[in-house]
Amino acid sequence: MIEQDQIEAQERSDPLARKRHEFDLPANTVYLDGNSLGCLPIAARERAREVVETQWGRDLIKSWNKHNWIDLPVQIGEKIARLIGAAPGQTICCDSTSVNLFKLLSVALKMQSERCIILSVQDNFPSDLYMLEGLRHQLGSDAVQIKLCAEEEIESAMHEKVAVLMLTQVNFRTGRLLDMQRLTERAHALGILVIWDLAHSAGVLPIELDGCHVDFAVGCGYKYLNGGPGAPAFAYVAKRHHQHLHQPLSGWMGHAAPFEFDAQYAPAKNITQLLVGTPPVISMSVLDAALEVYRDVDIKQLRDKAYGLSELFRTLVEQSPYLRDLQLLSPPQPQQRGAQLAYRHPEAYAICQALIDHGVVADFRAPDLLRLGFSPLPLRYIDISTSVTVLTEIMRNERWREPQYATRSKVT
């Protein structure tokens, strides 16, 4: 049985507690949805004001050079590279996760001219699978074949005719963490190129793309990286593949010399070839500032606290007799999951809305999942205690049955 004094002791010994003060957090709210949209860093808010009022408002077009707007994709890419175990020159910030995935799938298939099968898992994030469908529609079923399997069947589903293995490191529903090193090694032994989606792991778990010899990776900027709604994404291409890099969206920013305005496209020979159009300066500037919260953070401390927060939540739920109807879908061992927990309940949507109405912001995923994300920097251990207390009261008093909690909004 965990007592309150134990939780307070965890709080006092937390080496990341100081980072909470770098966020602008709403009063009387416990935010357990950083895996969908990260909290607002104070530095990001200040940068947004500066970019709009000074850089754009006063310096106007001069800011492309004066404030280095043009270099933001590379500058941000290098900040993210430190968080994902990538050496310089392999990571760039641009577009959305889905667009970047489409580019890298196209690159990988072109490199595997004798193969056409793309292997992924049935429970991958739907948008990733939609990109597969879009590529098949574009190139035809003779050029692109899609094979989906269960997560536990990934290794057995690989064979010498598979061109690309596309996986998400942390399952967006269950939080299950895949073994990047083992699966990448197994794929390479069969001549398969691997693309990893890091949307639910970048900024919260240690990642070693170079160490695992990963080929390609993508990820988003608005979840654990706290870049704001719709923040730009990022893409990684291992340097050994740059000579083969020829992505299909040949926009002017991916040109070797975009300001020469040559009528013929000459692709850049490095990671900047993944750029397409003009960088979205305001959103990129916000993400650039948001990443500063990681400047003095040990990634292993992030992982340890994420595990500590989620384990505290899981244990407190198990201790409450009123929460026994919640079925844990996530792996019970913290080392086998990312920084989230998912509970199955037939009324998960109503429970989630009741939680939000009572100051605990959680997340719902269809059809019946209550999902909770544990962002290590803004969250405290005492917040976890508070959230389980609120959840217990909602279930004990059946407040989720109130009719307003059954009404579904456009965004769930």
Alpha-carbon distance values, 344 to 43, 62, 94 (Å) = 37, 53, 35
Collapsing DSSP to helix, strand or coil, 375 comes out as: coil
CA distance 340 to 200: 9
Tell me, yes or no, whether 42 lies in a domain. Answer: no
Residues of the chain with pLDDT under 70: none
Phi, psi (5° rounding) for residue 378?
Answer: -85, -20
Q: Would you state the pLDDT for residue 131?
A: 97
What DSSP string describes 116-137? Answer: -EEEEETTS-HHHHHHHHHHHH
Q: Would you state the pLDDT for residue 125?
A: 97
CA distance 33 to 229: 13
304 and 287 both lie in a single domain:
no
383 and 398 both lie in a single domain:
yes
Q: Token pair for residue 306?
A: 């994420």
Collapsing DSSP to helix, strand or coil, 339 comes out as: coil
Q: Of 294, 319, 348, at which residue does a domain stop?
A: 294
CB of 348 within 8 A of CB of 370? yes
234 and 287 both lie in a single domain:
yes
Smallest Cα–Cα separation from 231: which of 44, 29, 51? 44
Q: Would you state the pLDDT for residue 368?
A: 97
Q: CATH no. for residue 213?
A: 3.40.640.10
Domain that holds residue 75: 48-294
CA distance 303 to 206: 7
Phi, psi (5° rounding) for residue 325?
Answer: -80, -10
Tell me, yes or no, whether 345 lies in a domain. Answer: yes
Q: For 230, left (φ over 0), alpha (ψ -120 to 50), or beta?
A: left
Tell me, yes or no, whether 411 lies in a domain. Answer: no
Catalytic residue positions, numbered: 125, 197, 222-223, 371
229 and 184 both lie in a single domain:
yes
185 and 85 both lie in a single domain:
yes
CA distance 309 to 306: 5
Q: CATH no. for residue 389?
A: 3.90.1150.10
Number of domains in the chain: 2
